[in-house]
């Protein structure tokens, strides 16, 4: 399939790379020339704007950092909407359902189909092709795109209503962030009391406290002190704020989500939005005066 791909950051690069390796013809665009060059060296063609891509292909995918960037790429003067050939816009970003509906309405006026397709699984999942791919849009479009999206991981059809996949993604990321925040508090408490953090993780992962943070994020990023799991604090904070906004619009109380959002807001300001989101534990460590790191003899 001929595919346009916009946004070649940490996630987008691997998604685009996997499409090329699967035999699809790609035309790519990013605001950074170096990011484009990485894909051109792997066989992609380059374009000077989203509109230029939309003049050449029917299917465009985007992996972008914020809702406003997605809106500009989709509906701006040099955006996808201005293209002559494009028929469908597949948004792999996390924008929230309200922005998804706004983009859907704008594109529909130009007979372009909006497909929400946010992904979960991080940079590692993008690299290995093991992402959960959440899709909402016309059922026929999902069936058409499913073989292509399978290059990224496992596609799930969420529903035909615009924005449904975005709601699913926000619910997923809330749970991911909550696991990270709660596990951080528990681990700092244990280390402050003199427990070995490696033994703590082993016990938690063998017991009822097991979660995505204890299984992957702590062993890979926190205990060794690398903090390189592959998802920025600023992006997680953005997703949590979108989740709260959506819950408020739906009339759903979110007391726990509010507390988790406050913790990531603190990490966003104290540690930095560009730092890995696993650094949220550092806010608690600083307060408690301890660090949750594997001891040299137990560091695997």
Give the global pTM: 0.92
pLDDT, residue 300, reads 45
Same domain, yes or no: 180 and 80: no
Q: Helices in 133-232 by DSSP H: which ranges?
A: 139-149, 164-192, 197-206, 212
Alpha carbons 276 and 180: distance in angstroms, whole number: 12
Question: What's the structural domain count of the chain?
Answer: 2
Alpha carbons 252 and 1: distance in angstroms, whole number: 41
Same domain, yes or no: 158 and 180: no
Longest dimension (CA), the chain: 65
User: Please, are residues 285 and 291 in contact by the beta-carbon 8 Å criterion?
Assistant: yes
Same domain, yes or no: 172 and 133: no
Catalytic residue positions? 169
pLDDT, residue 19, reads 98
pLDDT, residue 107, reads 97
Same domain, yes or no: 127 and 174: no
* Final residue before a domain boundary, out of 134, 162, 190: 162
Q: Give the model confidence (pLDDT) of 188-246 as tens digits.
A: 999 999 999 999 999 999 999 999 999 999 999 999 999 999 899 999 999 999 999 99
* Final residue before a domain boundary, out of 133, 162, 191: 162
Q: How far apart are the first and last CA of the chain?
A: 43
pLDDT, residue 114, reads 96
Strand ranges (E), the chain: 2-6, 25-29, 45-46, 59-62, 88-91, 113-116, 119-120, 131-136, 153-159
**pLDDT profile of the chain (300 residues), mean per 10:** 96 97 97 96 96 98 96 96 97 96 96 97 93 97 97 98 97 97 98 98 98 97 96 96 96 97 98 97 98 77
Supply the CATH number for residue 233's domain.
1.10.1040.10
Expressed as residue numbers, the domain containing 288 is 167-298
Same domain, yes or no: 129 and 202: no
pLDDT, residue 115, reads 97
* Final residue before a domain boundary, out of 162, 185, 206: 162
Same domain, yes or no: 99 and 24: yes
- Output b/e per residue, 79-95; b: 16+ Cβ within 10 A: bbbbbeebebbbbbbbb
Same domain, yes or no: 11 and 152: yes
Same domain, yes or no: 157 and 172: no
Same domain, yes or no: 87 and 180: no
> What share of the chain in percent tops pLDDT 70?
99
């Amino acid at each position: 399939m001929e595919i346009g791909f916009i946004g070649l950051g940490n996630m987008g690069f691997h998604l685009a790379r996997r499409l090329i390796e699967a035999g699809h013809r790609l035309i790519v665009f990013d605001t950074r020339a170096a990011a484009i060059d990485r894909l051109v060296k792997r066989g992609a063609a380059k374009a000077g704007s989203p509109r230029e891509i939309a003049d050449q292909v029917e299917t465009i995918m985007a992996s972008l950092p914020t809702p406003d960037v997605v809106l500009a790429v989709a509906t701006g003067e040099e955006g996808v909407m201005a293209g002559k050939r494009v028929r469908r816009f597949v948004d792999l970003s996390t924008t929230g359902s309200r922005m998804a509906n706004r983009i859907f309405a704008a594109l529909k006026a130009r007979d372009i189909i909006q497909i929400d397709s946010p992904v979960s699984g991080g940079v590692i999942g993008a690299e290995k092709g093991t992402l959960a791919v959440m899709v909402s849009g016309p059922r026929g479009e999902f069936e058409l795109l499913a073989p292509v999206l399978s290059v990224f991981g496992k596609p799930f059809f969420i529903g035909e209503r615009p924005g449904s996949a975005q709601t699913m993604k926000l619910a997923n990321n809330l749970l991911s962030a909550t696991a990270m925040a709660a596990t951080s508090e528990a681990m700092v408490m244990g280390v402050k009391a003199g427990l070995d953090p490696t033994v703590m993780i082993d016990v938690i992962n063998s017991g009822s406290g097991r979660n995505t943070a204890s299984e992957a994020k702590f062993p890979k990023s926190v205990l060794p002190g690398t903090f390189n799991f592959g998802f920025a604090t600023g992006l997680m904070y953005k997703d949590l704020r979108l989740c709260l906004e959506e819950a408020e619009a739906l009339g759903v109380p979110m007391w726990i989500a509010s507390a988790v959002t406050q913790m990531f807001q603190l990490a966003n300001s104290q540690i930095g939005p560009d730092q890995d989101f696993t650094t949220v534990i550092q806010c608690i460590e600083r307060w408690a005066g301890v660090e949750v790191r594997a001891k040299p003899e137990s560091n695997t």
